Structure 1
Amino acid sequence: MENSPKTPPTQAFLIEAAIMLHRYGTPSHRLERVMGRVAEALAIHGEFLYTPTALVISLRDRSGNEMTVVRRVDSGPVNVDKLIRFDQLLSRVDRLEIGTDVAMAELKQIDEATPLYRRPVYISACAIACAAVAVFFGGTPWEIAVAGLIGALVAGIELLHEHWRWESGLLEPLAGVAAATCSLLVAAYLVPIDDRLVTLAGLIILIPGLRLTVALTELAVGHLSAGVARLSGALVSLATLVVGVFLVWRLLDRLHPQLGPRPLPEPYWQWIALALAPIAFAIVFRARWRQWPIISLVSTLGVLASWGIGPRFGIEVGSFFGALSVGCVSNLYARIRDIPALVSLTPGMLILVPGSFGYRSLSALWQHQTLEGVQFGFEMMLVGASLVGGLLVSNVVIPPKRIL
């Protein structure tokens, strides 16, 4: 976190604050709004242009001195705990309670803080999340168990990728190969399971459904460069993930089992999964245990709204009202507790996002089932647009918190 010695302290703080928000998963429309407000409080006119891999910042003080900086920053996953701490820090700066020198030191301290959860806890949370998704897909008990194990394997690969700093595009195809191979071997030699359902559930943490929804939101609110870049990145990640899966399916095609009638899981499994999934996603997004109750409440309300309305009026209407419920409750809680709405909004939306449709679309196209692939792709975009519509309406019904 070093800047040129010629950079004034106020401008240096604004640059580093924008980089930190970018790095820890803040969408472009929130980042640009927040940083513009903080810059104004510090008597600086700031323009912030954000795309998922770059920041362009223009700052002009009252004397008319202007500087423009460009930073190459990779947009990382959402870290709820650090975003809360950034929000508290920026609020104090906005109210002029602390100077930029003190704020810069605190900003560095937050950035360098140790991870909230140890690796075994994170891996366990990913396993529970994947098992819960297998329940939502109608998996049998064996399929649920194997999906959880594959989810743990994929999370381990993700941590190794981060620790050893492998090539950035290697994670998705490697995870796809590992998930498809494990599910096929289990189906062929241990237990007759639907390996395709298990593979999809085991990869759900890496399927970029949330990025797709955020990209559509950015496009809807006029942040075109960020939206197009994020949408392209999400589609490429999804494509490389599916390529890894299909390489295994083609090479080990003879291992695909012939499945007979499959028993449906008992209805109470759905409620158990619905109770556990939000906590698992809260850990994945690094939210402290104090935030678990509101994350569980928001996620449950969104899913129940989608489940209750979707079968009668269609999945698009159900998704709209699910996102509307998540957005309204998240914004209300953010205003009451003075914390970022992203705390409960992001985990709550993750259960609703249409990532599985994109996976199924590419799977069908790969198998030359063109009509089915186009249909799944269209449904993915339609559900994503419905989610975006619900979020935008929720911001009108209950305006979000002023900072994050």
Structure 2
Amino acid sequence: MTTAAKRPLKQQFLIDAAIMLHRYGTPSHRLERVMDEVSQGLNVHSAFLYTPTALVISLDEDSAASEMTVIRRVDSGSVDVGKVIELGRVLGQVARGEVTADEAMPIIHRIDVAPSMYGPWTYGLACATACAAVAVFFGGTVQEWIAAAVVGILVTVMELLHARWKLEKGLLEPIAGVVASLSSILIARSFVGMDDRLVTLAGLILLIPGLRLTVALTELAVGHLSAGVARLAGAMVSLATLFIGVAFVWRMIDPLRVADDAGADLNVRAFWIALAVAPIAFAIVFRAGPKQWPIIMLVSYLGVLVSRSMELRFGVEVGAFLGALTIGCVSNLYARVRDIPAMVLLTPGMLILLPGSLGYRSLAALLERETLEGVQLGFSMVVIGLSLVGGLLVSNAIVPPRRVL
């Protein structure tokens, strides 16, 4: 078997670059296509097979006259927009022949080991702000906005401790569900007229796998069946284990709950303020730099405006489709002008439109034996997810991105 020390430099570069893209949360259809382009630029015949937990790479350089297959067990990480931009720039230079593989190798490794763009305090504040904004979108009161921010901070602390202590990967979701629901109930007892279930959902919103669900449906739609099925199954299991922690607390300490599920009317002024703040918070969560904040805000605004206006006239499915279409077209156009990966804008811009909360609410309804409502919410989640995927695919046909990444 060929070792890394004896492996040709071009092949080692392709392997390392693919692993890094995998680690930064790049979808399978984008990773495989961009790596094919880079391989062609290096005159290496290649095939890449991606799943969320593994990467299979087959390489055959003409000069070597021998095929080599490499299998790597790599967990797909959270999206890191900053590193995707830097890595995408280097890969583009290699594909165009502007930089050789031996020149690019140390550059991509410096990108990989570079510290996160934002420290834990900034990241935690962004998560809390995002949770508070989501509570506004759900029609919560001022007390519920504050409570959602507090719960969001607690969940973020659990996430950071989980990563630092290197605990079993599947433990984060149920523990976060327990912490969020328990803290929401305890906080609700201190405020009059606060819905702890709304606060729990808002506080957990960043762990609800709406993005993974949409990416999985996109992969299935474009024919990447192994990656799509694996990611879809992982998203559903993640949602289920997250809700198990919530349901455990609801069953154990239900007498402590203060029943108030009526909610409040949506505060229009607060909604627009939250819409202005949420994209920046999501951009920080995905490690997008300040230079991308204005365009991310613009893309998010346009997507929500189109989605909500069309939803009122034609229904939620049409609204989701046209909202995703708008975000996709603007993101691809900006990516062509500035020569950056389109997913830099797509990821935070789409997050506000994602249907992950419907899956959570579906499980909550089923837990309360409201079977019909639970099935309806689950079906709505799938339909809206497919509508979003359709909008993104059509946007790629209308405004093809210059890069496939």
**Cα contact 1:55–1:72 (8 A) shared by 2:** yes
Q: Please, which runs of 5 or more residues in structure 1 have no aligned partner?
A: none
Q: Deviations over 1:178-229 (max 9, x none)?
A: 0000111111244431011110000000000000000000000000000000
**Cα contact 1:141–1:265 (8 A) shared by 2:** no
User: 1:45 is matched with which residue?
Assistant: 45
- SS of the residue aligned with 1:46? strand
> What displacement does 1:5 show?
1.6
Distance (whole Å) between structure 1 residues aligned to residue 263 and residue 92 of structure 2: 55
- Which structure 2 residues correspond to residues 210-221 of structure 1 after superposition, within 5 A? 210-221=211-222
- SS of the residue aligned with 2:288? coil
Aligned residue type for 1:13: F
Aligned residue type for 2:37: R
1:271 aligns with 2:311: no
Q: Percent identity?
A: 63
**Cα contact 1:45–1:59 (8 A) shared by 2:** yes
Q: Deviations over 1:251-271 (max 9, x none)?
A: 011012133865535310010
Aligned residue type for 2:22: H
User: 1:170 is matched with which residue?
Assistant: 171
User: 1:113 is matched with which residue?
Assistant: 114
User: 1:237 is matched with which residue?
Assistant: 238
Distance (whole Å) between structure 2 residues aligned to residue 34 and residue 182 of structure 1: 44
User: 1:367 is matched with which residue?
Assistant: 368
**Cα contact 1:186–1:192 (8 A) shared by 2:** no
1:319 aligns with 2:320: yes
**Cα contact 1:55–1:71 (8 A) shared by 2:** yes
> What displacement does 1:47 show?
0.2
More displaced stretch, 264-273 vs 349-358: 264-273
1:20 aligns with 2:20: yes
User: 2:56 is matched with which residue?
Assistant: 56
Distance (whole Å) between structure 2 residues aligned to residue 168 and residue 389 of structure 1: 32
Aligned residue type for 2:53: T
> What displacement does 1:98 show?
1.9
More displaced stretch, 118-127 vs 186-195: 186-195
Distance (whole Å) between structure 2 residues aligned to residue 380 and residue 182 of structure 1: 27
Q: Deviations over 1:125-153 (max 9, x none)?
A: 00000000000000000001100111111
Describe the shift of the 1:143–1:166 C-alpha distance in structure 2 as closer, same or farther (beyond 3 A): same
Q: Deviations over 1:269-291 (max 9, x none)?
A: 01000000000000000000000
- Which structure 2 residues correspond to residues 266-305 of structure 1 after superposition, within 5 A? 266-305=267-306
**Cα contact 1:302–1:326 (8 A) shared by 2:** yes
User: 1:66 is matched with which residue?
Assistant: 67
User: 2:358 is matched with which residue?
Assistant: 357
**Cα contact 1:183–1:195 (8 A) shared by 2:** yes
**Cα contact 1:28–1:226 (8 A) shared by 2:** yes
Distance (whole Å) between structure 2 residues aligned to residue 21 and residue 212 of structure 1: 19
Distance (whole Å) between structure 2 residues aligned to residue 7 and residue 363 of structure 1: 53
> What displacement does 1:235 show?
0.3
Q: Please, which runs of 5 or more residues in structure 2 have no aligned partner?
A: none
TM-score (norm 1): 0.98
- SS of the residue aligned with 1:59? strand
